[in-house]
Amino acid sequence: MKTLSIFFFFLVSLNSYAAPEKYSISCKADDCFTGGWFMQEVGGVYFLNNNCKSGDCENIGWSSIDSKGDIYDVSCLPGGCFYEGWKSVNRTDNKILKDEVKCKLNSCLSYGWTVKTGYDLSGGNVSCINNDCSRFGGTAIWRGKVSRTECKNDDCYRYGWNLTIY
């Protein structure tokens, strides 16, 4: 039993000191809500290309494809993605994963959002820093990982943001 406890402590310690994953996200045409965005792993090869459906990420949704070939399809709930929330379908490794996102207090960009998933129990929770995700970014616990976003030039949805996953 003592050996198992030491092994568990070693694994937790290793995970605590693992280098965080970092990504840079840039808005297309200086407007993430109409042009979409591009995400690139800092110092790595992973990327994700996102496009707004009919040029309207706020009211219709978006679609994305990443460097692994995973496809994401997001549809806004009635009332808009950033006021009510959205539904997401991720096609990955011959699996279909679904998320349902609900805005907190009817404003994802002020208060954040919660995520319910149909494939794991962790879901997610995003909180805006100083009640303004669009200017200050936010913190999240999503799919068992902690992350933080920091807006570029104090305007996430015009210039983009940096994402660090711990």
Residue 7: predicted pLDDT: 37
Which pTM does this prediction carry? 0.85
Residues in the chain with pLDDT values less than 50 = 1-14
Q: Cβ(39)–Cβ(45) under 8 Å?
A: no
CA distances from 74 to 13, 59, 60, 99, 105 (A): 37, 11, 8, 9, 21
Q: Which two tokens stand for residue 72?
A: 């994401």
Residue 66: predicted pLDDT: 98
CA distances from 51 to 7, 34, 105, 164 (A): 45, 8, 27, 22
Residue 3: predicted pLDDT: 42
User: Could you give the 3-state DSSP secondary structure of residue 30?
Assistant: helix
Tell me: the pLDDT tens digits for 97-111?
899 999 999 999 999
Domain boundaries, the chain: 17-165
Residues 6+ apart with CB under 8 A from 160: 24, 25, 26, 27, 32, 37, 151, 152
Residue 123: predicted pLDDT: 84
Residue 2: predicted pLDDT: 45
Residue 120: predicted pLDDT: 67
